Amino acid sequence: MLRLGFHVAVSCYQVYVLHCLSTIQLTTTDDPVIKVLQRLHLRFLTNWNFFAQTSFFFVTVLLDLIRFTNAFPKALELLQKVTSSVLFSIIIPLSCFVSIFFWSVFLYNRELVFPKVLDNVMAPWLNHAIHSMIVVNLLIEINLVRHNLPKTSHSLLLLTVFMGVYLYILLNTFFTEGIWIYPIFDRLNWPLRIITFTLSITIEILLLLGARALNTVIWGAQADKRSKKKKK
């Protein structure tokens, strides 16, 4: 019941955050930063991550309900495998990266990622909801629920494909719109941009490996039970 209660609570919280974000009034100003946010908000990695995490927690509620009813055991096993794979391949490394990158740059110079003008349209708690709580919720998840880890190679492939798609969106936006949706890239030349892209995916891979290690520390050898069986 604790697991189900947590998943339901987080799902409701995430939906409420999405509702609050959708009701933000962005049409009351001509500021170019807000105009970009209004027109291209679906291209921000933060939003991709929050949507993905919200979907994950909704699926966990479904899994909990199926588990309680003891119905559809094969479907339950498949969904558990898929959700665990997505969690450790994309959601955890992506959420941690978003939080680390955002707050690091924010503390250095907030105008590069979250210009002060946005304070006029977004409440501080919403900023923390999409850049801080995303990590807190996942830390609770991996401490509360034992997940069977996917193969490392599969996780790395999923993460690389996901970030490759996002990098394409980011670059396509610049070449077609003439806009970097993150102001920090306006300050960099192309060699520094390439270094930043490379460093970002490297950090995400390290976060992926770190999450696997943390899960094994918390749950022991059982966390790798499925992958060990496959090797045999």
**79-112 pLDDT tens trace:** 999 999 999 999 999 999 999 999 999 999 998 8
Give me the amino acid identity at 70: N
Non-local (6+) Cβ contacts of 19 within 8 A are none
Least trusted range by pLDDT, from 31-35, 64-68, 168-172, 187-191: 31-35
Proportion of the chain in helix, strand, coil states, percent, rounded to 5: 85, 0, 15
Distance CA 216, CA 222 (A): 8
Instruction: Report yes or no: 7 and 57 within 8 Å, Cβ to Cβ.
Output: yes
Question: Would you place residue 33 in the very low, low, confident or very high pLDDT band (cuts 50, 70, 90)?
Answer: confident
- Residue 32 or residue 44, greater confidence: 44
Distance CA 60, CA 25 (A): 32
139 pLDDT more than 90:
yes
Phi and psi (nearest 5°) for 213?
A: -65, -40
**pLDDT value for 229:** 52
Distance CA 209, CA 86 (A): 14
Q: Which candidate, 132, 134, 10, 139, places its Cα nearest to that of 64?
A: 10
Give the side-chain half-sphere CA count within 13 A for 52.
Answer: 22
**pLDDT value for 221:** 63
Question: Would you place residue 31 in the very low, low, confident or very high pLDDT band (cuts 50, 70, 90)?
Answer: confident
230 pLDDT more than 70:
no
Phi and psi (nearest 5°) for 115?
A: -55, 145
